[in-house]
Amino acid sequence: MIERDFFQRDPLTCSRELIGCELFAGECAGVIVETEAYCAVGDEACHTFFRSGTRDFMALHAPGAAYVYLNYGLHWLFNILVKGGGGAKDGFVLVRALEPLRGIESMRARRQRHALRDLCSGPGKLTQALGITGKEHGIDLCAGGGIGFQPRRFNPEVESCQRIGIVKAADLPWRFVLKDSPFVSVRPRVE
DNA sequence: AAGAAGATCAAT
DNA sequence: TTGATCTTCTTG
């Protein structure tokens, strides 16, 4: 079980170090292979930049809280609140892709897809596969409940690249992937 | 009251 | 490349 102090650091460190950790939700679990960092200060792509409700959420919750929201009216996106202790170090980690480990038949049933690579290879896909929706918004992920994290069991090679699907601050290399994983959403551009 | 924007996905 | 679909925030 990953403890709260893991999330009492800045979003870039948390995003990088979550690669290779396990996310579990009920009977389902997978290795985190892709994340993105969003910073409360100085990042125009972060919801705190244009949503007062998000700034309120950040003030009212402890690090390790789930921040789940509906995007494009269709897809739930799963984030973790991180607070490094002071404005510029606060933010969110978006979990974007998993390598499925357990509960694979449940994932297949919820996704209506069979291939392992189609189950959790995107932020909207993994919430559907794990059954995460807005009802998980605000829950504590460090409380030993049904959803949480397990530490790494190997030493991953992590690659950083540009974030996906945003227009503002699109050039920042704040997306992190497990190198050469076939389970990421979009393969990083090879230089 | 109405409109725009938005961290996506699957089918064409 | 496009359509689906909804919440939040801003403007009138």
With a 7 Å cutoff on the CB, does A48 touch strand C? no
Give me the CA A3–C1' C1 separation in Å, rounded.
44
Protein footprint on strand C: which nucleotides are under 7 Å from a CB? Answer: 4-10
User: What is the block-wise mean pLDDT of chain A (191 residues), using blocks of 10 residues?
Assistant: 96 98 98 97 95 96 98 97 85 98 98 98 98 97 97 98 96 97 92 66
Give me the CA A53–C1' C12 separation in Å, rounded.
23
What's residue A114's pLDDT? 97
The tokens of A89 are what?
A: 């170090």
What's residue A191's pLDDT? 66
The tokens of A7 are what?
A: 């999330």
Give the nucleotide with minimal C1' distance to the Cα of A72. B6
Q: Measured between alpha carbons, how far is A72 from A112 in angstroms, rounded to an integer?
A: 20
- Domains of chain A plus CATH, in order, are 4-178 (3.10.300.10)
What's residue A189's pLDDT? 79
Q: Measured between alpha carbons, how far is A36 from A95 in angstroms, rounded to an integer?
A: 7
E strand or H helix at A70, and its extent? strand A66-71
With a 7 Å cutoff on the CB, does A74 touch strand C? yes
Q: Measured between alpha carbons, how far is A54 from A175 in angstroms, rounded to an integer?
A: 21
> pTM above the 0.85 mark?
yes
Give the nucleotide with minimal C1' distance to the Cα of A69. C7
Give the nucleotide with minimal C1' distance to the Cα of A73. C6
What's residue A84's pLDDT? 87
Give me the CA A162–C1' C9 separation in Å, rounded.
27
